[in-house]
Amino acid sequence: MYLSKLILNPRSRQANIDKGNPYELHRSIMLAFPAYDHEAERILFRLDGERLDHLLVQSTIRPDWSALKPSYLLENPLLKTFGELALTNGQELRFRLRANPSKRHPKNHKRIGLYKEEERIKWLQRKGEQHGFSLEPDQISLRATLWREFNLPSKQDNKKHRATFNFVDFDGLLTVEMPGILNTAIRQGIGPAKGLGCGLLSLARI
């Protein structure tokens, strides 16, 4: 897999548009993957930093960042490759995850956001059970990042509609329970809204 780190240029008009609209950011990122296969490959990304100017992109294929305009980035992208992580049962790691904590409405099956802190933490714990890790609520910090009022195309009528997404940044400690399943989660991402900048799980040693 490939992990890219890009520093967005604060003077770039397109970069500033992308920072405020995750759909537009996704479109810019995909310029670096002209041969992308939606069925076989996964591309995850997340904006980090106080000014949301650090862009992390994880991909299963090598990106070509020369497809972006030279003015889009403040400096040359950093790119590193990595394989399956050497995880062990019981290992404690620091993690960061931007996610879209939500659930399906029981009647119309539309996705609705979870806004209470305890609901969000329980959501993450359930995801941990599914993806090979566990965590304790007192070892998690979270910060809501509510993206609102951006245009999102509709598949029904091909028109753009105003959309609001409930994005939450989780940081803390997790314990590895099933290394193989967790490695799959790192590669595939966690939760919904992956195409809008959610789901990228970053791990680091304590």
Global pTM reads 0.90
State whether 29 and 98 are in the same domain.
no
Amino acid at 192: P
Q: Is residue 86 part of a domain?
A: no
On whether both 165 and 73 belong to a single domain, the answer is no
The pair of structure tokens assigned to 21 is 């609209």
Q: Is residue 169 part of a domain?
A: yes
Given this model, what pLDDT does residue 48 score? Answer: 92
Q: Are residues 47 and 73 in the same domain?
A: yes
Element housing 30 (H / E): helix 22-30
Considering the domain architecture, whether residues 187 and 116 belong to the same structural domain is answered as yes
- Res 8: pLDDT: 97
- Both 77 and 107 in one domain: the answer is no
Strand partners, 140: 172
Residue with tokens 């989780």: 170
Task: Give how far Cα 142 sits from Cα of 29, 47, 108, 115, Å.
Answer: 26, 16, 29, 12
**Measured distance between the N- and C-terminal CA atoms of the chain, rounded to whole angstroms:** 23
> Looking at the domain assignment, is residue 87 inside a domain?
no
Q: Output the pLDDT for position 20.
A: 85
Domain of 128, CATH number, reads 3.30.70.1210
CA 175 remoteness from chain centre: 20
**CA torsion through residues 189, 192, 195, 196, sign:** negative
Per-residue pLDDT of the chain (206 residues; tens, 9 = 90+): 999 999 999 999 999 999 988 889 999 999 999 887 766 678 999 999 888 899 999 999 999 999 999 999 999 999 999 999 999 999 999 999 999 999 888 878 788 889 999 999 999 999 999 999 999 999 999 998 766 556 666 555 566 666 677 899 999 999 999 999 999 999 999 999 999 999 999 999 99
Does 99 lie in the same domain as 195?
yes
Parent domain of 71: 2-81
Is 53 in the same domain as 6? Answer: yes
